[in-house]
């Protein structure tokens, strides 16, 4: 029934009305089967309108992820990656964490059309409603240990900026250590987030599970659930982007960055990252893991991706923390 439900969603993706009778004939099932499948919609947060005499329609057209379409958009490079698109999952990172133990192949991508319990930093959730976000995780196996992967989330941020430039979004900025922002209407709004989970030895081989959530076409209802200013791709482009085309671009940019990172680590990307740094030379607060707040000015990034801050007590370096820009008024 789940498979039929998502086949129906793909059928309804154009945002137009389709009758239950027409769909029953198309899928060679009974109208009751169509009704039962659609009745499951609300359980996973999908709103389908039903109008007597017209049939069923989605609230608006959606662009669903599809493995074949992503690979086709990648051309010859599509065959280099193990790409899997799930209909729905609790978390793409969780999925890959479990898969890694079963020797899941290098350069694997797991994306989902609906994510119900996505993970963000500091215990936050990243939910993904149908067609509203690009939500995926990327498995990359490194010959170095986890100790050599400092600054990886910053390098991934550079890859996302490069991908955004390919679709003519040129004003995206990076917030240390792992957010993509847009300065809009006088404030910084989050466009994407990165969450990396490492597995393996400190000094031996390791695997990075790189989770990315990128706002694509967020509904008003979903915006209300986000606990910080946010923006989506739909607000930045004149026309709706095809999610499979954009996903193909992101995968290629990520692979290029990760291959270079393995060879030369974060130092290679430092200058480029700084050129996108949203809070460069600005007054900031940084909240540490023990809830202590440090105030200062963000002045640089180290070769390993640490944030360098000028404080009243001198120059300090931070490997982790939650940063916000500080008003000087």
Which position among 40, 57, 84, 326 bears the catalytic label?
326
Is residue 124 among the annotated active site residues?
no
Please, what's the b/e burial string for 311-321 (b: 16 or more CB within 10 A of its CB; e: otherwise)? eeeeeeebeeb
Kindly state the tokens that stand for 130.
């149908």
Residue 18: strand pairing partners: 56
Among residues 31, 40, 57, 121, the one annotated as catalytic is 121
Instruction: For residue 204, give every residue at least 6 positions away whose Cβ sits within 8 Å of its Cβ, in sequence order, or none.
Output: 145
Contact, 78 vs 72, CB < 8 A?
A: yes
State the burial class of residue 172 (Cβ atoms within 10 Å of its Cβ: 0-12, 13-18, 19+). Answer: buried
- 150 Cβ contact list (under 8 Å, min separation 6): 265, 266, 304, 305, 306, 319
Q: Which residues pair with 125 in a beta bridge?
A: 119
326 is catalytic: yes
Task: Calculate Rg over the CA atoms of the chain.
Answer: 21
- Catalytic residue (one of 71, 141, 175, 190): 190
190 is a catalytic site residue: yes
Catalytic residue numbers? 121, 190, 326
């Amino acid at each position: 029934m789940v498979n039929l439900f998502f086949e129906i969603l793909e059928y309804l993706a154009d945002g137009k009305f389709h009758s239950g009778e027409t769909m029953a004939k198309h899928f060679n099932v009974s109208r009751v089967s169509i009704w039962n499948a659609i009745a499951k919609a609300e359980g996973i947060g999908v709103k389908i309108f039903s109008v007597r005499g017209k049939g069923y329609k989605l609230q608006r057209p959606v662009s669903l992820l599809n493995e074949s379409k992503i690979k086709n958009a990648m051309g010859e490079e599509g065959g280099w990656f193990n790409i899997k698109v799930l209909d729905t999952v609790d978390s793409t990172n969780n999925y890959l964490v479990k898969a890694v133990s079963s020797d899941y192949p290098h350069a694997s991508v797991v994306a989902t059309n609906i994510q119900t319990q996505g993970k963000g930093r500091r215990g936050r959730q990243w939910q993904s409603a149908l067609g509203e976000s690009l939500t995926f995780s990327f498995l990359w196996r490194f010959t170095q240990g986890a100790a050599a992967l400092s600054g990886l989330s910053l390098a991934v941020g550079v890859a996302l900026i490069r991908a955004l430039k390919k679709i003519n979004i040129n004003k995206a900025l990076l917030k240390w250590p792992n957010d993509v922002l847009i300065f809009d209407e006088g404030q910084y709004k989050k466009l994407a987030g990165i969450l990396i989970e490492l597995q393996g030895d400190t000094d031996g081989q390791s695997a990075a599970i790189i989770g990315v959530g990128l706002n694509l076409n967020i509904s008003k209802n979903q915006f209300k659930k986000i606990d910080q200013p946010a923006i989506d791709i739909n607000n930045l482009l004149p026309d709706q982007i095809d999610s499979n085309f954009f996903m193909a671009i992101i995968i290629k940019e990520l692979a290029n960055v990760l291959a270079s990172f393995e060879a030369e680590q974060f130092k290679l990307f430092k200058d480029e990252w700084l050129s996108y740094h949203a809070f460069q030379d600005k007054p900031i607060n940084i909240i540490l893991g023990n809830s202590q707040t440090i105030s200062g000015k963000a002045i640089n990034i180290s070769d390993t991706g640490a944030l360098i801050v000028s404080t009243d007590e001198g120059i300090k370096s931070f490997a982790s923390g939650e940063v916000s820009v500080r008003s000087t008024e």
